[in-house]
Chains A and B, each alone.
Chain A
């Protein structure tokens, strides 16, 4: 069984237009993003020194990236000393082949999986299926997505686009095909649905020989991997099987054990809006007599060194995948995750996908335009990734890559309009007000002057609104995004 795939997704504007027509999706998304962001705001407000904490977390990740080769070599040495086998994979295909090889070596035809962005990124489930290995997702939302032959739409709550009635239907229809069926009296109560998932998956946890995980952090000094989760499916996978394979992006490394401190204080509050998530597991290679006695770590590049070489974009590799930027993004809230055509949606996806993959593909090239540059994502980011500045820089790179085209891309036209908006003080004030991002964004833009001396701002009139035509469907073109937003309460009226 495989989930859906993003290959061949339409570019962002078309996909966004389709999503905007889906009222159920928009309702679910608005409910979810508002609930999570209110929770986040409450627990962040409890921490007086939140800003210092953000600075400390940023510094840890930045220090790790700036001397990445040294830390990776140290991580490899620590892991090896602790009895783990370290593999390196240049791309998705190499990483998938390593996981398949280790699984086959144990004669297993299935693996249990903890939710992991890295394994989703490399398309591991599909690759294993082609090798005759079934990959069982064990996170409740991922299970819903997988059984529904669907695509995840949010980093944290991938099934946010499904309501309880749909989930009940999916469980009734599909659970029996792949294992223990849903009970006959299954209702659409969340606790009943969760209990059905518990029973269905427990059978798989108890018999699985091989588990696959990602890692939130990898400590170079000690060889410690960290998995942060809620449901306990992570603990099951990390504890019960004999063999554990962890697929870890090279940017997950942090130099020292003590560096976990600011990150562990930042992540749960930013992510689920909790003081701490229910479970965090840490292990350093093999623990004799406890848990998997064969431990593999696959360190993957898959575009990360490409992103690392980008002086402006490098900071995107600090991302700890908390998803706070998704929940505050007015664009994400209205179009949902699928429109981004990638496992990394929302503001971070809009910069990370082009950074990892380049902008030669039209789908990826459309992503830097999937933003109004309002700056809310930067405000909430626990590791202070300046997403608006990276977006602007990425747009310039898209335009540059089409410089030789006979017919200018709409994005190039948009960039020229951007330059026009800044060419006159009155228009600049207008753009400033319309972008809703206040002076901060403009200050940052001021640092990021584009080739030819142009600069960019948020919502722009006329051709500047190139991609925004999708988001602006209900709005008359003369009305600014900001004004429209206030009038309609974010599209809900």
Chain B
């Protein structure tokens, strides 16, 4: 008896009998240069009704503290920003069964992470879940996500981000807070992901 695998691959080959493979692909259109990358990024992130605060490097800790407004917070082990009173999640790779459970995380108000790249054109932040961002669950379960993005991490458009990112890592692209338009197309911010996204942009 042939396996499903062999049968499907044989059917694919039979279906394409006589069909030429495609030649070289036309390159996707390149990105137009943007004058004020950071300005565009901020405008586009705010368009999703996320909160953006711009600050200088020496103001980051204070800006993050203000964003947390006294609520409880979890931070990844490699964050590198002082967040007083926060719970530190063990870093990626240590086996997350030893870390906070999803239920533990559900009892915490906020999470503070860094980011890998910001995309100006689409107002998107991409996390690659390195040590300064932590495993995926910590930036998902708490209701407030404070995300610290450096101005030099902002690129113009999607192709720049794709070129920078490493597909071997888990990646989360975030464009504003979680949202739905499922009820009569009325946009509601916040369903299952963090209902508030607060971006701290460091210049």
Contacts and interface: CB of A to CB of B under 8 A. Distances in A.
Interface residues of B, number: 75
A222 B191 CA distance: 31
B5 A53 contact: no
Contacts, number: 245
A222 B170 CA distance: 12
B171 to A, nearest CB: 4
Interface of B: 3-5, 7-9, 11-16, 19-22, 25-29, 32, 44, 47-48, 92-96, 102-103, 106, 119, 121-124, 129, 135-137, 140-141, 157-159, 162-163, 167-186, 188, 190-194
Contacts of B182: 139-141, 144, 157, 159
B173 A279 contact: yes
Given A140-B183, A299-B8, A305-B12, A191 B102 contact: no
Given A49-B29, A53-B28, A190-B188, A305 B8 contact: yes
A306 B11 CA distance: 8
Given A88-B3, A138-B192, A164-B183, 4 more contacts: A68-B12, A206-B103, A232-B140, A258-B163
Contacts of B47: 275
Contact of B184 (A28, A60, A62, A139): A28
A452 interface: no
Given A205-B192, A232-B192, A276 B183 contact: no
A21 to B, nearest CB: 21
B118 to A, nearest CB: 12
A304 B123 CA distance: 36
Interface of A: 28, 31-32, 35-36, 48-49, 52-53, 55-57, 59-60, 62-63, 66-69, 72-73, 76, 82, 87-90, 94, 138-141, 144, 157, 159-160, 163-164, 167, 190-191, 193-194, 197-198, 201-202, 205-206, 219, 222, 224, 230-233, 235-236, 238-240, 250, 257-262, 264-265, 268, 272, 274-284, 287-291, 299, 301, 305-306, 308-309
Contacts of B16: 66-69, 308-309
B184 A163 contact: yes
6 contacts: A35-B185, A63-B21, A73-B9, A90-B7, A236-B193, A282-B170
A63 B28 CA distance: 14
Contacts of B95: 288-289
B178 A48 contact: no
A290 B129 contact: yes
Nearest to A264: B158
A52 B28 contact: yes
Contacts of A219: 167
A94 B4 contact: yes
Contacts of A202: 106, 192
Q: Is the interface of B mostly helix, strand, loop or mixed?
A: loop
B8 A90 contact: yes
A290 B92 contact: yes
Given A222-B167, A261-B159, A278-B178, A72 B102 contact: no
B22 A62 contact: yes
A301 B8 contact: yes
Nearest to B25: A59
Contact of B4 (A90, A235, A278, A289): A90
A265 B179 contact: no
Nearest to B172: A281
Contacts of A232: 140, 178, 191-194
Nearest to A208: B102
A289 B183 contact: no
Of all A-B residue pairs in the complex, the 5 with the closest CB atoms, nearest first, are A232-B193, A309-B15, A232-B192, A49-B29, A305-B11
Contacts of B9: 69, 72-73
A308 B178 contact: no
